[in-house]
């Protein structure tokens, strides 16, 4: 039994913000998809959380880390010992691709596997929901339609999206979610259509892109450079940014785009991968 779990990077194929509720949270309609790659979480011999990897700086294994919160909630719910972890942080922080939510979800999946808990146990989803709006989708880590705060989920068929070559690009700009939502102009531009996820994404939008661009216009440079590459099917910012992504028709087109972007902007972070089926 493996003691390592991938915290799959999340992308929002589309994200429609419909309204702001009286509780301060926004009602959204979104299409979640996930990359085949991401951070890696491994069980440790002792308690606590050790963090390593290219984006370990700025994260602490102590205090209110979502992984440790997930581990404590799991132990309390199922009557198990509190496990420790080593987190290999490969995804940039505050980047719109899941981050801590994906790490917490990976911890729940890994703990369920090693402690013999049914992966479909409703208590796992309840813990995920208590940790944050994106954690339930990250727990599933498959193509899903989300409404409410993004935590009311319906799994959907991948269709053409399954296994599609995917390139994530971040200009190494951290962007907090709160200010981006706060900058949304509160204009409801309409519902997210139903249907095949790729077809829906192609006629949809990310309503957080405009406010994110106001906060940091450098995101437009990423979108423009991705959009200039050959073979793209969809180019969009993910979540509240600043990570942007492109879906490609072929692996060759993705890799050529990655090489071209790396030559022009060698300081930017990239992750060539595929959509997780």
Active site residues: 10, 134
Contact 90, 39 (CB under 8 A): yes
Find the helix or strand (DSSP H, E) in which 7 lies: strand 4-20
Length of the chain, please? 277
Residues 6+ apart with CB under 8 A from 17: 26, 27, 28, 181, 184, 188, 207, 208
Residue with tokens 């995917």: 166
Instruction: Cis check for the bond before 242: say yes or no (omega within 30 of 0).
Output: yes
Contact 208, 237 (CB under 8 A): yes
Which token pair is 73?
């909630």
Contact 85, 71 (CB under 8 A): yes
- Cite the DSSP H helix spans in the chain: 66-78, 100-114, 122-131, 135-140, 177-182, 197-202, 209-215, 218-227, 251-264
Contact 97, 9 (CB under 8 A): yes
CA distance 173 to 176: 10
Contact 40, 7 (CB under 8 A): yes
């Amino acid at each position: 039994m493996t003691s390592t779990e991938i915290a799959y990077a999340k992308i929002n194929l589309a994200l429609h913000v419909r309204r702001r509720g009286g509780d301060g949270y926004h009602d959204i309609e979104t299409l979640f998809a996930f990359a085949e790659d991401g951070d890696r979480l491994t069980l440790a011999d002792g308690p606590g959380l050790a963090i390593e990897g290219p984006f370990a700086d700025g994260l602490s294994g102590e205090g209110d880390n979502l992984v440790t919160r997930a581990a404590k909630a799991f132990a309390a719910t199922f009557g198990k010992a509190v496990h420790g972890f080593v987190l290999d942080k490969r995804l940039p922080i505050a980047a719109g691709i899941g981050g801590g939510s994906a790490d917490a979800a990976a911890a729940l999946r890994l703990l369920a596997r090693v402690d013999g808990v049914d992966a479909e146990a409703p208590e796992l989803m309840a813990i995920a929901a208590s940790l944050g709006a994106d954690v339930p989708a990250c727990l599933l880590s498959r193509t899903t339609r989300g409404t409410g705060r993004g935590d009311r989920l319906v799994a959907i068929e991948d269709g053409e999206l399954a296994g599609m070559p995917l390139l994530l690009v971040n200009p190494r700009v951290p962007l907090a979610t709160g200010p981006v939502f706060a900058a949304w102009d509160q204009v409801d531009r309409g519902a997210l259509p139903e249907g095949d996820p790729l077809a829906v994404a192609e006629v949809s939008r990310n309503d957080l892109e405009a406010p994110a661009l106001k906060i940091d216009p450098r995101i437009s440079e990423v979108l423009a450079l991705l959009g200039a590459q050959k073979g793209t099917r969809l180019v969009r910012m993910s979540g509240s940014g600043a990570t942007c992504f492109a879906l490609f028709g072929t692996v060759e087109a993705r890799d050529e785009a990655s090489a071209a972007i790396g030559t022009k902007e060698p300081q930017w972070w990239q992750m060539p991968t595929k959509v997780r089926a």
